[in-house]
Structure 1
Amino acid sequence: MMTDDDKIQSVLGLDVSCDSVTLFDSLTGHPLTIGNTRDALHSALQAYGGRTDILAVCEATGGYEDQVLAVLMALGISAHRADAAKVKAYIRSFGKRAKTDAIDARWLAQYGLDRSQTLVRWQPPQASQSQVRLLSARRTDLVAMRVQEKNRLKAPRSAMIAADIEDHIAELDRRIALIEAQIETLIRDDTGLRRREKALRSVPGIGATIAALLIAAMPELGSINRRQAASLAGCAPHPRDSGKLNGYRAVCGGRRHLRPALFIAALTAIRGDNPLATAYKAFLSAGKPKRLALGAIMRKIITIANARIRDAQAAPDN
């Protein structure tokens, strides 16, 4: 975040697509469309290089923004990668619905101007961390494909189709195992990731696969508080109170793709002999439904993981 002494004078709104980037400079008020290539971006942005009174804002676009962020970092331009849902809610708060690349770039610049003091500046992930994240995402995709194929195999309607599905499942098994080996190698060869994995695997219910997923998807663990960790993992119940109404506190938001993994971790933990299993039994004895008790164990797992990574990072190197 910015300090009070760092005043942003202008913001570059960058609407990114596969082939082009629309740039809007809040100072000049003029949009410019450029190619989404390193050379084109460098040529268009080099005039802003090294300035501390400028901020660039773009949305997460599934990877198309990577080139833009790399060029901004190389030129010394502070950047924020915005959550598209937050930007959309910001625009709708003004009652606006018109949408073009130039309009979106203008809104990104306005969003940056209004919130520059609180927007977290983008930092490139470490190479190993980035590779683990990409491999973990690919593994998730392959596992989903395998589940689909196994469901199809239950009623293939043809011996030929069944044989083809079985071959595909075997191939998916091979590729998943290969990716898991690559992730294991990356973690083993990186001191920081190895330390995080060791801390994670000390938590009941967390094994190699879930530890790798948390390393990939929650690099913030160890640097945030327990409430933030639970919220980020999508395990925090949010209040819905108004006046005399005490509404039902529902779990929502966060990185929802982590919930299934934490659910599996909770199921594993409660079957063992550990404090989490004891806590689960206490919840049931107090009359809590199993679903709510498991949700509480999921929260405990992620908050314990956060604390242990924090302690591991603070410990001196051996």
Structure 2
Amino acid sequence: MRTESAEIQSILGLDVSRDTVTLCDGRRHTVTVANEADALRAALLPYQGTATLAVCEATGGHEDTLLGVLLELAIPAHRADPAKVKAYIKSFGKRAKNDPIDARWLSRYGRDRAATLPRWQPVDPTQQKLELLVARRLDLVAMRVQEQNRLKAPRSRLIADNIRDHLAELERHIEALNAEIDTLIGESRDLALRAEQLRSVPGVGPVLAPLLLAVIPELGTLNRRQVASLAGVAPHPKDSGKANWHRSTTGGRRQIRPALFIAALTACRGDNPLATAYKALLKAAKPKRVALTAIMRKIITIANARVRDALPHQNEIMPINA
């Protein structure tokens, strides 16, 4: 549900913590209630049916109860990026911070930007579970790298057996997560179709495909520039007057670039059009780093296009299971 900005009459700022939520409806007065469904429902009930937009920050899950109540009461909401809100407050030169002050700033942020703020929509449970499983796998892989590095350290010989036991345990957990991720994707017609299209792209394997499905669920709905930017492989200009600086690829969702880099290395070693393009770039005297970045961008744009082209024919490709 989306309320057009012309219809919005008030902005409700909600500062969320683990135990409490502080509300501000644009005036100086604020109220703090428990971060529990019944308390939130009672506090938000007066705004039901009014032209109100609720604005809160992403807090790692502490906002889930609030968003659920807002959805129940049909109050449109925006879950703001904390970094953007922080930059907005900083632009006014303000430093004071507590829950009521933050709630007021969220209300003001929503008032100034209501026309461009996307409305929050509940995540599909299967997609949410996939995101959690993939995130957990990334955490365990990072732990494995840390333990492998510790094992190589000269002073780790006395505790080497303990580190090896932990590495073996991590491997078991990672394999279990891989199996659970594969099962989850296989049981979802939509995810299975997307994964099939992603795996058809050179360099995209059983690790990168679920990662793309989890981290960039928008695949197939974006244009090539948008998806390259989300993946952090879009070259951004850095020009001023007569100065033309080297364009660099920055930003994007941080989990994607390392995996895309490995995918590009794999693709460039194979016999496919991407390997041909990579060799042509090297022949044109492009540095290897620049050529690999170009292949990374090609991989994500091809993946986006294949998912996009397959989605309209989903029912023809994958019949509904009985």
Q: Which TM-score applies when normalising by structure 2?
A: 0.94
User: Aligned-residue CA RMSD in angstroms?
Assistant: 1.6
Alignment of 1:88-103 (within 5 A): 88-103=86-101
1:23 and 2:39 matched: no
1:237 and 2:235 matched: yes
Q: 1:264-283 deviations in whole A, cap 9, x for unaligned?
A: 11111111111111111111
Q: Distance in 2 between matches of 1:58 and 1:213?
A: 27
Q: 1:221-277 deviations in whole A, cap 9, x for unaligned?
A: 111111010111111111011111111211111112211011111111111111111
Report what 1:45 is aligned to: 44
Q: Distance in 1 between matches of 2:199 and 2:73?
A: 39
Q: 1:171-225 deviations in whole A, cap 9, x for unaligned?
A: 0000011111111111100111111111111111111111001111101111111
Q: Distance in 2 between matches of 1:89 and 1:316?
A: 42
Specify which of 173, 176, 189 is matched with residue 175 of structure 1. Answer: 173
Percent identity of the aligned residues? Answer: 64
Go from structure 1 to structure 2 and tell me whether the alpha carbon gap of 1:2 and 1:118 turns closer, same or farther (over 3 Å shift): farther
Q: 1:38-62 deviations in whole A, cap 9, x for unaligned?
A: 22212211222243x1111111111
Q: Distance in 2 between matches of 1:294 and 1:20?
A: 48
Helix, strand or coil at the partner of 1:235? coil
Report the CA distance between 1:29 and its aligned residue: 3.7
Counterpart of 2:238, as a letter, is R
Contact 1:79 1:121 in 2 (8 A): yes
Report what 2:12 is aligned to: 12
Counterpart of 1:10, as a letter, is S
Helix, strand or coil at the partner of 1:116? helix
Contact 2:5 2:115 in 1 (8 A): no
Q: Distance in 1 between matches of 2:237 and 2:109?
A: 27
Report what 1:222 is aligned to: 220
Contact 1:234 1:253 in 2 (8 A): yes
Counterpart of 2:29, as a letter, is H
Q: Distance in 1 between matches of 2:3 and 2:282?
A: 48
Contact 2:3 2:76 in 1 (8 A): no
Q: Distance in 1 between matches of 2:48 and 2:252?
A: 34
Specify which of 265, 268, 276 is matched with residue 278 of structure 1. Answer: 276
Report what 2:320 is aligned to: none
Q: 1:108-162 deviations in whole A, cap 9, x for unaligned?
A: 1111111111111111111110000001101101111111111111136365511
Report what 2:196 is aligned to: 198
Counterpart of 2:245, as a letter, is G
Go from structure 1 to structure 2 and tell me whether the alpha carbon gap of 1:250 and 1:152 turns closer, same or farther (over 3 Å shift): same
Report what 1:105 is aligned to: 103
Q: Distance in 1 between matches of 2:154 and 2:20?
A: 44
Q: Distance in 2 between matches of 1:5 and 1:41?
A: 24
Counterpart of 1:207, as a letter, is G
Go from structure 1 to structure 2 and tell me whether the alpha carbon gap of 1:158 and 1:221 turns closer, same or farther (over 3 Å shift): closer
Go from structure 1 to structure 2 and tell me whether the alpha carbon gap of 1:83 and 1:272 turns closer, same or farther (over 3 Å shift): same
Q: Distance in 2 between matches of 1:2 and 1:17?
A: 26
Report what 1:68 is aligned to: 66
1:154 and 2:152 matched: yes
Q: Which TM-score applies when normalising by structure 1?
A: 0.95
Deviation beyond 4 Å, 4+ runs, structure 1? 1-6
Contact 1:284 1:293 in 2 (8 A): yes
Aligned residues: 316
